[in-house]
Amino acid sequence: MKKIVRFVFFLSLVSSLSVAYSEAPHRTAVGPGIWHHEIYLTEGPWAIHILEIDLTNHYVKIETAKAKEQLQGRTPTSEIARSNSRSGHRVVAAVNGDFFSSEGVPVGAQISDGVLVSSPVQRSVFGITADKEPFISIVDLNAKLFTRRNIPHQIHVVNSSRRENQLILYNSFRGKRTGTNQWGTEVIVKLSNRFMVNDTIHGIVTEIDSVSGNNSVEEEQIVLSGHNEAGNFLKKNMRIQDSLKIIIGVPPVTAVIGSMIGGLPRIIRDGNRSVEYAREKIPDKFATDRHPRTAVGISKDEKKMYFVTVDGRQPGFSAGMSLDELSGFMLNLGVYQGMNLDGGGSTTMVINNKVVNRPSDATGERPVANALLVVSTAPVGKLTYLRIYPESITLLPGQTCLFKVQGFDKYHNPVPLNGKKIHWSCDQKIGTVDQTGKFRANANTDYGYVHVQFGELAHSAKVRVYHEID
């Protein structure tokens, strides 16, 4: 890993003479307390993207989102990010989340905005409490219903198929209906407060059905569905207009949880490399082979988070990493607790609605089950600075590059620019640029700058023109 330390935050030169290539950008702020790093390491080769997040910034939120907002469903990470972005709630960045079935059901647990989407299994989860305290753990489900007379009954699972003698809780993530048969009893409950994991949920019974099953699941309500023994408990102890309470716990975590997402396995424990594939019962080949990877990490003081993607399965560009290589790399970033997420063709990082890595599937970005989001709640302010893309580039003589410019406020929110007021120029020794931002390199070997100006604001990009590349 010493070589990685030497190369971190520098992009190696591309050997091809037929295309333009970029150098490593500097640490780029993409939101309040949110930075993007792009790294290329020739020794892999590895194309790596890192999102560094300051959890102490009060404008920053970490959330999870379910594709199509239902237990079953898949959609690309970029679409999950776009669909969850709105005024005052800008999704700055996202990475793909948990492994999933062909129907888009996450393998592990998920909590979205305090609501349990899918129940825990004995594999790692990443989560963050309502007080912005991050954690990585293996959690259990400890859920109970308490009747009006405070009689308890275990809730066996959430949003899953009902089995013999089980009591199941369904919420709106299940879909429009519970999908159950008529051989049970279902109690429809209107919630009196927000559904929050590791907190007490209160509700009022509005309907009891022991005939048909497959009841509808509306927003701000849940359905308790019991078979045989559990169904008899509901029939005996539930009446219309009864008040009840439910406690959904996920020990060993006891704090109220805002967001949680599954993955596997843990790869860093307490600042040490710890690829726990055997404990989480996955094949060693999954850990030792090189694949595209997505991971999440937490600093020792729990004030910083890291999202990491490593592209793979692309010979000559990026080979992917083993979990041991990924663990070592993340340790050098300062990660104290780390967990692997779904990888392979799912590996995706989105920043400001743009996929910044290179997904490995030939068809492009893969539809996934869920995603981890970084959200900015900062208000939109006035235009403060400009940024050119790319910020640095090397071209062969005669090659062209279309530069683009974007405006931002002090919180790094995008601010629209009037294209008619944008003025482009460049150092004459390196080439020419028109007023669309299209640059053409001269025949001379040299370096200089392309400049953009909008009112009193300006920014420049460095351009190198070489006849050949070593």
381-401 in b/e form (b: 16+ CB < 10 A) is eebeebbbebbbbbbbeebeb
> Contact at 8 Å (CB) between 72 and 105?
yes
> Contact at 8 Å (CB) between 375 and 90?
yes
In sign, the C-alpha dihedral spanning 172, 176, 181, 185 is: positive
pLDDT band at 346 (very low <50, low <70, confident <90, very high): very high
Q: Residues with Cβ < 8 Å from 329, sequence gap 6 or more?
A: 1, 4, 48, 308, 310, 321
Distances (CA, A) of 102 to 170, 358, 368, 369: 21, 23, 10, 9
Strand (E) or helix (H) holding 298: strand 293-299
Q: Which amino acid does the sequence have at 184? A: G
* 3-class state of residue 59 by DSSP: coil
Q: Which of 22-26, 74-78, 326-330, 386-390 has the lowest mean pLDDT?
A: 22-26
- Amino acid 468: pLDDT: 67
pLDDT band at 26 (very low <50, low <70, confident <90, very high): low
Choose among 118, 98, 120, 185: nearest CA to 158: 118
- Flag whether pLDDT at 462 surpasses 60: yes
- Amino acid 467: pLDDT: 78
- Flag whether pLDDT at 470 surpasses 60: no
> Contact at 8 Å (CB) between 246 and 146?
yes
Q: Which of 2-16, 131-145, 233-247 has the lowest mean pLDDT?
A: 2-16
Report pLDDT digits (tens) over 193-207.
Answer: 999 999 999 999 999
Q: What is the pTM of this model?
A: 0.91
Domains along the chain? 2-139+255-376 (no CATH), 142-249 (no CATH), 385-465 (2.60.40.1080)
> Contact at 8 Å (CB) between 100 and 139?
no
Mean pLDDT across the chain:
93
Distances (CA, A) of 103 to 68, 100, 120, 367: 12, 8, 18, 11
pLDDT band at 98 (very low <50, low <70, confident <90, very high): very high
> Contact at 8 Å (CB) between 335 and 268?
yes
Query: Rounded distance, CA 54 to CA 304, Å?
Result: 5
pLDDT band at 11 (very low <50, low <70, confident <90, very high): very low
DSSP β-ladder status, 349-351 and 28-31 = unpaired
Query: Rounded distance, CA 51 to CA 350, Å?
Result: 10
Choose among 240, 228, 246: nearest CA to 147: 246
Report pLDDT digits (tens) over 255-264.
Answer: 999 999 999 9
The whole-number average pLDDT for the span 174-180 is 96
- Flag whether pLDDT at 23 surpasses 80: no
Distances (CA, A) of 157 to 163, 172, 466: 10, 15, 63
Full strand arrangement of the beta sheet holding 349-351: 60-66, 370-376, 90-96, 349-351, 354-355
- Amino acid 18: pLDDT: 28
> Contact at 8 Å (CB) between 203 and 249?
no
Which phi and psi (to 5°) does residue 32 adopt? -65, 115
Choose among 85, 11, 91: nearest CA to 49: 11
Choose among 434, 415, 408: nearest CA to 423: 434
Query: Rounded distance, CA 76 to CA 68, Å?
Result: 10
> Contact at 8 Å (CB) between 267 and 331?
no
The whole-number average pLDDT for the span 313-335 is 97
DSSP β-ladder status, 110-112 and 257-262 = antiparallel
- Flag whether pLDDT at 313 surpasses 80: yes
- Amino acid 8: pLDDT: 39
- Amino acid 27: pLDDT: 79
Q: Which amino acid does the sequence have at 22? A: S
Task: Give the residue, 47 or 3, on which the prediction is more confident.
Answer: 47
> Contact at 8 Å (CB) between 403 and 424?
yes
Query: Rounded distance, CA 338 to CA 79, Å?
Result: 26
Choose among 175, 355, 139, 118: nearest CA to 249: 139
The whole-number average pLDDT for the span 3-28 is 40
